[in-house]
Amino acid sequence: MPRHSSDRSSVDPTLVTPEVLRGWQLPEPTGGKNARGSILVIGGSSETLGAVLLAAEAAMRAGAGKLQVATVASLAPFAATVLPEALVRGLPETDGGAIAPEAADAVRDLAESADAVLIGPGMADKEATQAFGERLLPALDGPLALDALGLAAVTADAGCVHHLAGRAVLTPNPTELAIALHVEPDAIEEDPAGAALELAARARAVVGLGGSTSWIADPDERLWRDESGNAGLGVSGSGDVRAGITGGLLARGADPAQAAVWAAYLHGRAGERLTSSVGRLGFLARELPAEIPRALAEIVP
């Protein structure tokens, strides 16, 4: 198991319920799109543009006001066509179609000016992605969400987000958490809460661990357990939607722990709503974003 996780897993978690969320309401900015914050979603490759599209739409459905997307140059025109709401920037790519390390310089201006940045959905090539993160992350001051391979820089050095002083959210699945902690997957299965708390302590960031039960941990050793959702959410692209919700909530002004907790519940509740209208299995990740505003309205009409 991760070091000290047995001690941390004694932390008493808060069960996430609609009542808990109503007592921890999201910022409700007034005015135009600028008041609701801008989100920059960085990700994709020549084979996985869809992950960026899912995350980007989910961010908007969660309430972000302005959308910017940065992906590989070869597919940027397609992204711009599918996402008419977005400013889309094409980034240098590797011979294999992944975002190249030097792309960090090409997107730094957008990242520095955005109200929140999400890095990772659909990114490919671990080495290139790690190098990209190592070049870009020092220039950011948060809020920031790191998902999927966007966690590569944290896996190499958990201290790479310390300068953000808790303004980062890491959204691994159990396999990605095991990689980040350099442990076997069985260790995560044995104590997911302790493992989430461990990474939160090492990275000094909020950790939103997905799975049949979601665990959200922050560096102050607060812990939340979310049991919303169902088996239908175990489908390709589902995690990209959850990451997008997290980024969108950060953009509209939620603090990192609040964004991670609300994202876990909204993602799960969106799946429950689709179970009622489509079926227990067989709904698609692309159907989840449209349910997010409806799930929000159930909590705060």
Which element (helix H / strand E) includes 257?
helix 256-277
> For the chain, what is the mean pLDDT?
94
In this structure, the number of other CB atoms found within 10 A of the CB of residue 46 comes to 15
pLDDT digits (tens, 9 = 90+) for 41-82: 999 999 999 999 999 999 999 999 999 999 999 999 999 999
Write down the pLDDT at residue 162. Answer: 98
Write down the pLDDT at residue 12. Answer: 92
Write down the pLDDT at residue 36. Answer: 79
Write down the pLDDT at residue 31. Answer: 64
Query: What is the percent of the chain where pLDDT is above 90?
Result: 91
pLDDT band at 180; cut points 50, 70, 90: very high
Q: What angle do CA 238, 243, 247 make, to 5 degrees?
A: 150
Q: Range of 243's domain?
A: 5-299
Q: Give the per-residue SS3 of 94-109.
A: CCCCEECCCHHHHHHH
Q: CA of 32: how far to CAs of 137, 167, 252, 280, in Å? A: 29, 25, 12, 38
Write down the pLDDT at residue 3. Answer: 44
Domain count of the chain? 1
Decide if pLDDT at 8 tops 60: no
Sheet of 168-171, strands arranged across = 14-15, 223-226, 214-217, 206-209, 168-171, 144-147, 116-119, 38-42, 66-72, 86-91
pLDDT digits (tens, 9 = 90+) for 194-251: 999 999 999 999 999 998 899 999 999 999 999 999 999 999 999 999 999 999 999 9
Burial class (CB in 10 A: 0-12, 13-18, 19+), 27: middle
Q: CA of 265: how far to CAs of 44, 151, 199, 238, 296, in Å? A: 25, 22, 21, 13, 10
Select from 85, 36, 40 the least CA-distant residue to 65: 36
Predicted TM-score (pTM) of the model is 0.95
Which CATH number covers residue 108?
3.40.1190.20
Q: What angle do CA 114, 118, 122 make, to 5 degrees?
A: 140
